[in-house]
Homo-oligomer: A and B are copies of this chain.
């Protein structure tokens, strides 16, 4: 097995753009710039901060110490102007929503607990006051929230209800006699639960409760409520519990809260989208309770956007460490008696790590598009209802993929580094423990994917309700593209390709960009069309029968949403490849994009075969082709992870420092020296062979 050294290993300059496939060179710096994206400047500032020891986690601390350190770090973030970019300029912010998220998500590199604790304070609690409240609320509380005088909670989730926010059971009943709301927790399942800052630090909260006035429930609204006095004791009627230790993120004091007939002034209702006057009359600028609920929950989307970005960032850290180790670590000497192979020269190791790099590039570029969309909406540049829905759908599509991808990557990297991967000093395990909950908070991944699927179907329902499945399917191919899927974030969709149908099409290799796109988008369209057909007429059924029908297709709904999200990632990756000028970089990045696309197709190969999209012959070429692609990308692996741009101050992993290479070099030098001095012991096997030979001669 020939060892293929990387450019970095060979110290080849990064500048030369070489067109020859086998000598393609990645311009690491330019690629890094592309990855940094539109908010590169903010990211640089945020990364510099994230590299400082002051914001790092100290491993092995008790959770009490971890919490208190994390709390202090919030003040450090304030001092260093790291967390106010989204607040209004008149209150000391920068009114810059995209930059805010870009900077915020890089905090994960310092410590996921810090990212989430900051997210609770400014992204959830502060944001709720800002977006759901009105001017008086802003004046009264935003300054204190910004500067940490008021550490606060976002008290939405209850023990009994997480994903289904509309069903929370805490009530806020208007009391005309005293012009107050009475907050009340009617039973144990209605306790607020898993609430960050609730166990210790929270002085106040935005509490979500069913607003009831005059015997009518107007649905979930946010109320500003003081939780604790200056000494940190709960105010009368308020109680709580510590959620205690968690699987990760132990820098955050999650807890439970309950309210027993707690009175707050009527004006503590955050009344931007719904108000109650002193007569108890409810008014809202949004007539439909459904739309109002959707709008109020809209602020939650920024959490999903930033979790998507944070997941991508952590994935980059893990891959840099694992790839660096894999080009230094040697194990087994199958090919030679003298030299062992570096891990990344093993095909299986390439199969394990390189597709993860490819998926990380895809997720990174897709996140950049999500962030742009988010900035468009929150800056007000493009802020129609439809824009907001598109943003919601895009976030709901991408966050599940990237958070699961982060977990898979951290685990694969940990295993790929063997025992060293299990040591805390190499960080995989702690990061994985922290990232675990990203898959279920701010929207359970499976629930989010169903929202995506419902959106894909809703785009049909308006125009195709009652249309026969066969007709619908045909209509999809020719007409649906711009009319419907486009709104869900899909770009123009071209006609389906049935491989093997014509010679021309059969000749299109799988590595062809157009073919990949056709295969991926065709699958989404066909799945949506099939679902729409199967669910046709569901609106005419009873509520129970309709629910049963949907449930019978729940798995397909989720698979369809995933396919859609993967296509979006592929498209974002491809758009990014098109932006690259440098020929060598473009070549390598195209291979990586191909690897991403072909691995998606390989994973769903049965679908392509069953649905006649690929011939058996073509399908059989896929796996060997992926193996060849892996071998092509192998020499560029280090460049690809170096372009992620994280330095030792971010990696902080003992095996990402070259320590393994030093050890290997020392061991090899020792063997050389022994051989040279003739002190290297002979193997028994060699002795036996010699004896046998001598015997044979006699």
Contact = CB atoms under 8 A, between A and B. Distances in A.
A411 B415 contact: no
Contacts of A550: 334
A504 interface: no
Interface in A142-193: 157, 159-164, 167, 169, 186-190, 193
Contacts of A441: 419
Contact of A1 (B422, B423, B425, B547): B547
A544 interface: yes
Interface in A637-688: 662-664, 666-667, 670, 681-685, 687-688
Contact of A62 (B60, B336, B548, B662): B60
Interface on chain A toward B: helix, strand, loop, or mixed SS? Answer: helix
Q: Which of A218, A219, A422 has the most CB of B within 10 A?
A: A422
Interface residues of A, number: 112
Contact of A440 (B186, B346, B422): B422
B217 A683 contact: yes
Interface string A386-427: 000000000000000000000100010011001101111100
Contacts of A414: 247, 436
Contact of A346 (B245, B422, B551, B610): B551
Contact of A421 (B333, B418, B440): B440
A550 to B, nearest CB: 7
Interface stretch (A117-125, A374-382, A465-473, A552-560): A552-560
Nearest to A430: B247
Interface in A611-640: 612, 616, 619-620, 623, 627
A543 interface: yes
A422 B437 contact: yes
Nearest to A218: B684
A163 B331 contact: yes
A441 B160 CA distance: 40
Contact of A548 (B1, B243, B546, B627): B1
B419 A247 contact: no
Given A335-B543, A418-B444, A348 B555 contact: yes
A13 interface: no
Contacts of A190: 667
Given A244-B424, A246-B422, A606-B619, A667 B554 contact: no
A531 interface: no
A502 to B, nearest CB: 20
A62 B430 CA distance: 15
Contacts of A681: 210, 212, 215-217
A351 interface: yes
Given A422-B437, A610-B619, A682 B543 contact: no
A244 B425 contact: yes
Nearest to A603: B606
A446 interface: yes
B419 A440 contact: yes
Nearest to A654: B244
Given A164-B332, A289-B683, 14 more contacts: A1-B544, A1-B551, A2-B548, A59-B245, A186-B667, A187-B663, A218-B684, A247-B414, A247-B423, A248-B429, A419-B440, A555-B623, A609-B619, A610-B620
